[in-house]
Structure 1
Amino acid sequence: MQPRPAVPADVPELIRLRAVALASLGMDPGSSDDPWRATADGWFRERLTGRSDVHCLVVGGAPGEPLVATGMAWVTYHLPSPRWTDGRRGYLDGIVTDEAARGRGHGRRIVDGLVAWLNGIGIHYVQLHASADGEGVYRAAGFTAGAYPGMDLFTRPAPGTAPTA
């Protein structure tokens, strides 16, 4: 099966696959009515319909039917440099294959399709954060360890505000 661009009818399946990804990372995605899912619905719909700097691919049935894999790429904006004069980079995220469909090359085809889309819009510096399960797929696609170490900072939300992550 070849990847196709996601459409709004795929959003429920994109959310389901997001929950699969979260569970594989050791995070409890909660129930099917967990509040993050309503936020994710709007998040996906806005990116699928209102953004030219985001591309989402899926593998599976026709729009609205079950999916077996998905992944996204978007443009990130950074300061220009001599090597990357416009400051644009690509970022891959949300690449997940349903457990029963793993090991069939779906993830690799999605990665290749997303990198091709980025190359087609003139972006030749692509970044991602790899899980242990996905690292082999990314290395096989040509990704290497980043030049700069990643760091994270988690701040506390304001009192009375629910955390967003």
Structure 2
Amino acid sequence: MRLRRIMFAAMDGEDRPGAWERDAALMVRRGLAEPHPSLMAFVVDGDGPGEHQLAASAMGRIEDRLPGPRNPAGRFGFVFNVCTDEPYRGRGYAKAVTEALLARFAERGVVRVDLHTTAEAEGIYRALGFAERATALSLTLAERRV
């Protein structure tokens, strides 16, 4: 959750600790403990002294949707929580954990993978083959005005 907070702070410009961290940690533990988990994570251990901490992480989820002509299996992947702690940046860790996640997706029959990125990290994903889709819209229901 420490890396997740760092990621959100980079995206929002502010660090917002809270109960969401406990809830997210519980969800991760449950998701990774499933017999055939749809949630997966790849990490790089930090090499600093003292308390054990991660240098980088990438998480992803496989979602089964209805099959279609471009995805007969209906399996989609979503990459999230890609973050490298400041002292470890520039070593290729974000790319390595993302590539490991993509390989696992491919093994599990995922056809299409989506993600959201910051401007700073966009180059990593483009180098891996990610490109813009024609239309992507989203809605935050709590902010919806009818």
Shorter-chain TM-score: what band?
Answer: 0.7 to 0.9
1:155 lines up with 2:141 in the alignment: yes
Q: CA offset at residue 27 of structure 1? A: 4.7
Unaligned runs of 5+ in 2: none
CA RMSD, 1 decimal: 1.9
Deviation at 1:19, TM superposition (A): 0.5
Selected match of 1:26 from 12, 16, 19: 12
AA partner of residue 153 (structure 1): L
Q: 1:97 pairs with 79, 84, 88, which one?
A: 84
Which whole-Å CA distance do the structure 2 matches of 1:65 and 1:49 have between them? 22
Q: Does 1:60 align with 2:45?
A: yes
Question: Structure 1 segments of 4 or more deviating over 2 A?
Answer: 27-31
How far apart, CA to CA, are the structure 1 residues paired with 2:62 and 2:6? 25
CA apart distance, 1:61: 4.7
Superimposed CA distance per residue, residues 49-85 of structure 1 (whole angstroms, 9 cap, x where no aligned partner): 12511210000159x8211100112112222112211
Unaligned 5+ residue runs, structure 1? 1-14, 158-165
State the TM-score, normalizing by the size of structure 2.
0.86
Percent of pairs identical after alignment?
31
TM-score (norm: length of structure 1): 0.77
State which of 119, 126, 145 in structure 1 corresponds to 2:113.
126
- Paired residues in the alignment total 139
